[in-house]
Structure 1
Amino acid sequence: MGEALDHLGWKWWKKQVADEAQASIELIDILHFLLSHELVQAKGDIELAAERLVAVSKPHQTSVQFDGKAHLLDDDPRSLFELLAGLASVRRSELRVLEACFRAMNMTWNQVYVQYVSKNVLNIFRQEHGYTDGSYVEEWFGQEDNVHLAEITTSLDSASANFSDDLKRQLAERYQAACSAATKA
């Protein structure tokens, strides 16, 4: 949530420009963490994890109780991001607050799905290219790999049966070009 808030420009004392695309990618990371948490809680039982998520999702609920007061699930992204961060700090997993964050960022569930698949491809790509041992380079041509991911994702047909493969191939092409350019420099 800290990274997502950084992309929104939370420092009221400083002129900042919000980067909503990157804030949205951070929300997708949070979705990864939330789903992973639920799977761990369900001891790997996907059906049980799904049932738990459905049980806590209350789409018509307009507020969440936290820290002794009701917090509205309104359209203010910064307030929602801060609420989700506060809940996480006390180990409360709140899918409905994350859903409200998606709505506040004008993300449809189709966009969430496409970004989730894209980020998953990047996470696998990172692992395959040395993320675990520290040899992976996250910045290519002066931009974080998430920025390249967003650019490539928007250039592809997400409805294609080959979307994941095409995305991984284009990531690999850019990464290899960046590594070659760094080696020559």
Structure 2
Amino acid sequence: MLLTEQASTMLSLQTSMNIKVDPNWVEARYPYLRAVVIEAAEAIEHHGWKWWKKQEKDLPQLQMELIDIWHFILSEILLRNQADQDKSLTALTDSLSDSSTQNVINFDDQHILINELDLIAKFELLIALSVSRRIELALFASIMTDCEISWTELYCQYVGKNVLNMFRQDKGYKEGTYQKTWNGREDNEYLVEIIGSLDSSRSEFKDEVYAALESAYPA
């Protein structure tokens, strides 16, 4: 399960990213759950659903889609709480606690058992709930299990992706001066090594990731 410290870190990072996109993002009230719909549909494509052609499940891409979906779920939780970090953290941790024993979702006059659905059906239900502006973390957690990603892994990938994006911006990504290749290797490769070498349970994790990127970046 996600640690409270980790949940707080992700909410803080998501707020920072939303501000970078639009300083007035709370007033703009963007339809974040609409974005979940689109990302979940893309995940179905990565899983493969076409019966008229051979397709292989692309697990790494499915996991990446889950990270993107999580960005938008966090944004929606923040938006519903007017970007108040404490209220958002309480809402998130309470929902996670409630979801740990939940297996039934009531939707469209049906009692749907999550554990009886296959992965594509779970993504379809996620889409339907998101269209209805509902967040069900029990369903999201079940999808994570099917996609073979733990909360710790989700946290590490989420933080890593956000910190790298911020690092790129700070080093001139928008202006075109950022060096994506460092000594013959892409920055993503360095990020994987850095995350693997650090303790993700530490409150300083995101700062340590940034510092390690800074240390490795060519002068």
Out of 87, 107, 114, the residue aligned to residue 73 of structure 1 is 114
Task: Please tell me whether the aligned partners of residues 2 and 85 of structure 1 are also in contact (alpha carbons under 8 angstroms).
Answer: yes
Partners of 1:114 and 1:158 within 8 A in 2: no
Q: Distance in 2 between matches of 1:108 and 1:21?
A: 13
Deviations 1:141-180 (A, max 9, x none): xxxx9xx84x55443325266434445787x78xxxxxxx
Q: How many Å separate the matches in 2 of 1:105 and 1:122?
A: 23
Aligned pair partner of 2:193 in 141, 149, 155 = 155
Structure 1 position 91 matched with structure 2 position 133: yes
1:9 and 2:48 are equivalent in the alignment: yes
In structure 1, C-alpha distance between the alignment counterparts of 2:53 and 2:146, rounded to whole Å:
23
Pair 168,89 (structure 1): closer, same or farther in 2 beyond 3 Å? farther
Residue pair 2:47, 2:56 contacting (<8 A) in 1 also: yes
**What is residue 103 of structure 2 aligned with on the other side?**
62
Structure with more contact order per residue of length (Cα contacts < 8 Å, sep ≥ 6): 2
Q: d(CA) in 2 for partners of 1:42 and 1:48?
A: 6
Letter in 1 for 2:193: S
Given the alignment of the two structures, is residue 100 of structure 1 paired with residue 138 of structure 2, yes or no? no
Structure 1: state its 5+ residue gaps: 174-185
Distance 1:78 1:154, change over 3 A: farther
Are the equivalent residues in 2 in contact too, given 1:53–1:95 (CA < 8 A)?
Answer: no
Residue by residue, what CA displacement relative to the aligned partner does 1:119-160 show, whole Å, maximum 9, x if unpaired? 213443565623xx9x8xxxx9xxxx9xx84x5544332526
Alignment TM-score, normalising by the size of structure 1: 0.71
**Structure 1 residue ranges, 4+ long, deviating more than 6 angstroms after superposition:** none
Find the partner of 1:53 among 87, 92, 115.
92
Cα RMSD (Å) = 3.0
Residues 76, 45 of structure 1: alpha-carbon distance in 2 compared, 3 angstrom cutoff? same
Q: TM-score, with normalisation over the residues of structure 2? A: 0.61
Q: What are the Cα deviations for residues 71-91 of structure 1, in whole angstroms up to 9, with x where unaligned?
A: 222273222222111111121
Give the 5 Å matches for 1:111-126: 111-124=153-166
Task: Please state whether the residue corresponding to 2:106 is helix, strand or coil.
Answer: strand
Structure 2 spans left out of the alignment, 5+ residues:
1-39, 200-204
The code of the aligned residue for 1:113 comes to Y
Count residues in correspondence.
Answer: 159
**Counterpart contact for 1:63–1:73, Cα < 8 Å:** yes
1: CA distance, partners of 2:83 / 2:110: 34
> What is the CA-CA distance between 1:45 and the residue it aligns to?
0.9
Distance 1:169 1:93 in 2: 39
Q: CA deviation at 1:61?
A: 0.9
**Secondary structure, in 3 states, of the residue corresponding to 2:125?**
helix
Percent identity over paired residues: 35
